[in-house]
Amino acid sequence: MRTIAIFNHKGGVGKTTTVSTMADILAIDYGKRVLVIDADPQGNLSMFYGVEPDEGNSTLDLFMGTHEPVYSDWISSARTDAPVDIIPSDTALVQAEAAALKEDARFNRHAMSDLFRAIREDADAPDADNRQSAYDYVLIDCSPAFSQVSLAALRDADDIIVPITTDLFSTMGMATVLKQIMRARKDGLNSVAGVLVNKYQRVEDPNGLLTYLRNQKAVPTFETVIRKSKKVVSAGADGVPLIKFSPRCAAARDYRAFVAEYMAKKGDRNGKA
């Protein structure tokens, strides 16, 4: 199982789009078992997958220790056209943030790693019923903030993917993102799988920021860039996986190439992660 946090403190760069599209490609094209975690009180990922948190099944419950660590209680199946499971969120997740700031003992800073351990233990259990709950990939959609929940995801995930757009402010913000990741992780920037350029339009990159990103040595930038495509907005509004909504659009093709690049980088030759 590989766990991946998708993070940038800049808003609107495509974190949620990357989580859902990557999850859908892994599940639909590769038959991987995928869990997504909505770690953003905006709840955009949950809206996309059409899942509202019920009492007891949300990321808030995960962090506030509402349950014994029986992770299957938290997990809902997303809509049927994408075989992806989800731990949903809504605005109530801000309560976790408030609790963390008040140093309320109920806030479990290790909720993510506890969950990952529980999933791994369950997958290893000899009981056949439990085995089907093993996941190949867990993708975490972070909020555009250095929240305590984001920090927990950044600290505990195996990999971090940083979506970015090639406008000047977004690129300037990258140094801050990397600094925060350094603070959150013991292994510094080693876990950054890569910076993923999104909404790319050659004509809109007059400052050559793509070249800058590729030349800087602090963190890798994925070879694949995701081109800007109106279909992404429409697929998101309809709650349909992009690869089903418009399989041939530039962004769908780019996301498929990106997932292939990511898997090759991580040595997943379509076997178990």
Sheet with 76-77, edge to edge strand ranges: 76-77, 84-87, 34-39, 137-142, 2-6, 159-165, 192-198
Smallest separation, CB 186 to Mg ion (Å): 27
Kind of pairing between the strands at 84-87 and 76-77: antiparallel
165 binds Mg ion (CB under 5 A): no
Smallest separation, CB 134 to ligand ATP (Å): 27
Residues with Cβ < 8 Å from 53, sequence gap 6 or more?
A: 43, 46, 59, 60, 88, 89, 90, 92
In 31-161, alpha helices (H): 44-49, 59-64, 94-101, 111-124, 128-131, 148-156
- 229 interacts with, out of Mg ion, ligand ATP, none, CB within 5 to 8 A per kind: ligand ATP
44 binds ligand ATP (CB under 6 A): yes
Are 12 and 173 contacting, i.e. CB atoms less than 8 angstroms apart? no
- 13 interacts with, out of ligand ATP, Mg ion, none, CB within 5 to 8 A per kind: ligand ATP
Smallest separation, CB 65 to ligand ATP (Å): 26
16 binds Mg ion (CB under 5 A): yes
* Closer residue to ligand ATP (CB): 122 or 159: 159
* Closer residue to Mg ion (CB): 3 or 44: 44
21 binds ligand ATP (CB under 6 A): no
Look up residue 84 and give its two tokens.
């992806």
**Rounded Cα gap, residues 238 and 245, in angstroms:** 9
CA neighbor of 140 nearest in space, from 173, 116, 106: 116
Smallest separation, CB 13 to ligand ATP (Å): 4
247 binds ligand ATP (CB under 6 A): no
Residues with Cβ < 8 Å from 146, sequence gap 6 or more?
A: 9, 180
Q: Using the rule CB under 5 A, which residue among 3, 8, 21, 44 binds Mg ion?
A: 44
Radius of gyration of the chain (CA): 18
58 binds Mg ion (CB under 5 A): no
43 binds ligand ATP (CB under 6 A): no
Sites for ligand ATP among residues 87-146 (CB under 6 A):
144
Residue type, 123: A
Burial environment of residue 228 by CB neighbours within 10 A (0 to 12, 13 to 18, 19 or more): middle
Smallest separation, CB 104 to ligand ATP (Å): 25
Which residues are 137's β-sheet partners?
A: 2, 34
Are 76 and 62 contacting, i.e. CB atoms less than 8 angstroms apart? no
* Closer residue to Mg ion (CB): 16 or 191: 16
Q: Using the rule CB under 6 A, which residue among 199, 249, 259, 268 binds ligand ATP?
A: 199
Smallest separation, CB 236 to ligand ATP (Å): 4
Contact code string over 249-268 relative to ligand ATP, x by CB under 6 A: --x-----------------
Q: What does the binding site for ligand ATP look like in residue numbers (CB under 6 A)?
A: 11-17, 40, 42, 44, 144, 198-199, 226, 228-229, 232-233, 236, 251
